[in-house]
Amino acid sequence: MSAQVIDGRACARVLKESLSADVSCLREEGAAFGLATILVGDDYGSAAYERRLRRLADGLGVPYQPHPLPTGTSQDELIALVEVLNDDPAVSGILILRPLPAHIDEAAVFQAIDPRNDIEAVHPENAGLLALGVPRFVPSTAASVFHLLDTWLDLAGEDRADFYHRSLIVVVGRSNNVGKPAISLGYERQATVESIDEWADRTTGIGRHTRRADVLIVAAGKAGLIKAEHVSENAVVIDVGINPQTGPDGRVHMVGDVDYASVAPRVRAITPVPGGVGPVTDVWLMRNTVLAARLLAQHPAGDTSALPEPTDSLVEAS
């Protein structure tokens, strides 16, 4: 039996339609909104992602400001740009692409973002709210992982609450932008959550942990890390990895952290790369940009003493 393929592109199309309606609403209301991205240097994955966002913003009619900066940009210059964007009424969401060059202290830059514009929840206030289970913004990649899971459960006729409640979710990778938020979202669903990284068990290997997973979320950034021997037959596998790899034809293409050819025939369901988590992430970021506009409309610039209480309506679509 081969796994069910969880179709990220189809899922993204549905999200995009409802987002289109939200964008029209914002326009009618005359609300200012838009996405600003900052890309320092020329990281391959970040540049590819930035191009995707540019196209999507265009297609949806979301005003888009790209800010490409040279690798040598200083931390002070970067923070100065963030402060300009914080005060720009035409910017509701700010995305700083990672990784930043080594001479820049990421945490210092993230702290400079106005929490109301912080659509990836990298500012300590928003990261803290997420960890406490009352998120203002849910970071787009982790949000997409659980949106795909929720949607697949509905299609499979599984009761969401019951499924999560009896499931062990194993998250491979502990990054601030994917692994840690995914753990929080798993907790929120009352699942049992285990967090490991690729070094979790140098002597016995990661299989001892991953083989027990009902849901395996892989965000380690290592091509082909998860092979058939690492998964159980009932597992639902979500592959967050997007690793550039040069094919025999000399062209670069993206591969996941899961060795799809060996794993897919063995498990219950799996997301492909490309066409899995990635396309949903793109749309979710736009969605957060629209949510940020609503938040800003309620609390205009200068009103920093009264940051809004996070509410459910600003967090989850369904």
Ligand X SMILES: Nc1nc(=O)c2c([nH]1)NC[C@@H]1CN(c3ccc(C(=O)N[C@@H](CCC(=O)O)C(=O)O)cc3)C=[N+]21
Q: Which is nearer to ligand X, 44 or 298 (CB)?
A: 44
217 is in an annotated binding site: no
Segment contacting ligand X by CB under 6 A, of 152-160, 191-199, 260-268, 272-280: 272-280
Given a contact cutoff of 8 angstroms between Cβ atoms, the answer to whether 121 and 131 are in contact is: no
242 binds ligand X (CB under 6 A): yes
275 binds ligand X (CB under 6 A): yes
CB of 219 vs ligand X, minimal distance in Å: 11
Q: Which is nearer to ligand X, 80 or 252 (CB)?
A: 252
Q: Cβ of 110: how many Cβ atoms within 10 Å?
A: 21
| Position with the least CB separation from ligand X | 278
The span from the CA of 279 to the CA of 13, in Å, is 9
254 binds ligand X (CB under 6 A): yes
CB of 12 vs ligand X, minimal distance in Å: 8
Residue 36 CB contacts under 8 Å (≥ 6 apart), including other chains:
64, 65, 66, 67, 85, 88, 91, 93, 94, 95
Residue 128 CB contacts under 8 Å (≥ 6 apart), including other chains:
none
Q: Which is nearer to ligand X, 190 or 245 (CB)?
A: 245
Q: Is the dihedral of CA 202, 208, 209, 213 positive or negative?
A: positive
274 binds ligand X (CB under 6 A): yes
Rule CB under 6 A: which of 13-52 touch ligand X?
45-46, 48-49, 52
Of these, 243, 271, 281, 289, which contacts ligand X (CB under 6 A)?
A: 281
The span from the CA of 239 to the CA of 242, in Å, is 9
> Does a cis peptide bond (omega within 30 degrees of 0) precede residue 274?
yes
